[in-house]
Amino acid sequence: MFKLPKKPSPKASVTELADFVEILAWVERSASAQRVVNYLGLVDDQILNEDDSYQGCEDQEDEHQEYLEDVFAELAKREEICNEAYPFEINGTAGTVLHLKPNVWDNPQQTAYLYLLAATRLNMNKDHNLEDIDGALEMEFLSAHALKQYLGAVKSTVMVFGTSDNAGRFSERVDELMVMLKEKGRFRNINGTEAPIHAQDDKLDVIGTIPFTDGRGGQLIVFAQSKTGTNWKSHISELRPEVFAKKWISHDFLIPPLRAYCIAESVDEIEWASNCAEAGLLFDRCRLVECCIEDDTNKLPENIRAWTQAAQTRINSYISA
């Protein structure tokens, strides 16, 4: 998986190269298939044989042409799924030129897409803090925004559980969570009241629920974990609501919470079913963007726009270097 400032290998996956084409189009306003070939050096002049035959070069060009067709097919799929929320448009005589749409910062869904693209391909260990904004932490707020919209912005309630500074704060957050959910349980350490608490958020980033007006427990609850970057597969089954409840809550939920996983990357279609089986309710990039609609009750956090604009500057410095 490539991370900027490095460029992808010619053997990179279709989804990786699709991201790279989007990055080029973002910072240069357009990106053609030929531009990708030139930038990555996909045609190797050294493959000529001693007879100066161009057969090998032609074969390699044909192979790369087919590969880039797959890449632009992936981009076309994203455009179809996201529709007007997609910040790019494909045109050119063969559909092999990607253009950045104008006024993307005025569209919260297009802004969200660019945020998720940057949060996938930047090194979020090194480049997460831009303009004094933690881009990795903003993923939790974007996930909360999307989950609220998915559940129904008017009626649903969400909480960013986040990370706590100390053990006492963690216990308070659990109590706040249970009050929000109208459930009987409160914080309880399964190891006993004197046992140390090492958890910060215990893999729980966002909670969403659709409460009833009767104020009673027994409702739809979603526990969500969010991840930037590309190593989300190694964390895909870490959050287990039933284990969280057993460790930290004094009573069982009346209805067990659903599990959700929010990731910045666009999931390869061929692996979608298996990833859903492991992740639960899976929100990849296009699904999150679909749910990043703004209305009077649910606004995209302003820090996401500011961080993404700073990320564009950082990415541009990497591409132009």
Mean predicted lDDT score pLDDT of the chain: 89
Task: Choose one of 102, 120, 141: the last residue of a domain.
Answer: 102
Same domain as 153, residue 257: yes
Q: Do 196 and 167 contact (CB within 8 A), yes or no?
A: yes
Burial 186-210 (b: 16+ CB within 10 A, else e): ebbbeeeeeeebebbbbbbbbbbbe
Query: Cα–Cα–Cα angle for 15, 286, 154, nearest 5°?
Result: 165
Query: Structurally, how many domains does the chain consist of?
Result: 2
Question: How far apart are alpha carbons 302 and 285 in whole angstroms?
Answer: 19
Average pLDDT on 243-251 reads 95
| 10 lies in some domain | yes
Cβ distance 113 to 285 under 8 Å?
A: yes
Q: What are phi and psi of 283, to 5 degrees?
A: -110, 100
Comparing C-alpha atoms, which of 189, 96, 155, 147 is closest to residue 280? Answer: 147
Q: Are residues 70 and 160 in the same domain?
A: no
- Confidence bin at 298 (pLDDT 50/70/90): confident
Q: How far is CA 164 from CA 6, 136, 139, 258, in A?
A: 34, 16, 17, 23
Structural domain includes residue 123: no
Answer whether residue 116 is part of any domain: no
The confidence score (pLDDT) of residue 268 equals 92
**Is residue 61 over pLDDT 80?**
no
Looking at the structure, do residues 170 and 299 belong to the same domain, yes or no?
yes
Global pTM value = 0.91
Question: Which residue range is the domain that position 97 belongs to?
Answer: 1-102
The residue-averaged pLDDT of 283-298 equals: 91
Is residue 120 one of the residues assigned to a domain? no
Assess whether 87 and 225 both reside in one domain.
no
Which pLDDT score, from 0 to 100, does residue 42 have?
60
| Residue 190: both structure tokens together | 């399964």
Rg (alpha carbons) of the chain, rounded to whole number: 22
pLDDT at 94 over 80: no
Q: What pLDDT does residue 68 have? A: 86
pLDDT of residue 149: 95
Name the pairing type of β-strands 97-100 and 88-91.
antiparallel
Whether 319 maps to a domain, the answer reads no
Residue 60 within any structural domain of the chain? yes
Positive or negative torsion for Cα 10, 18, 146, 3: positive
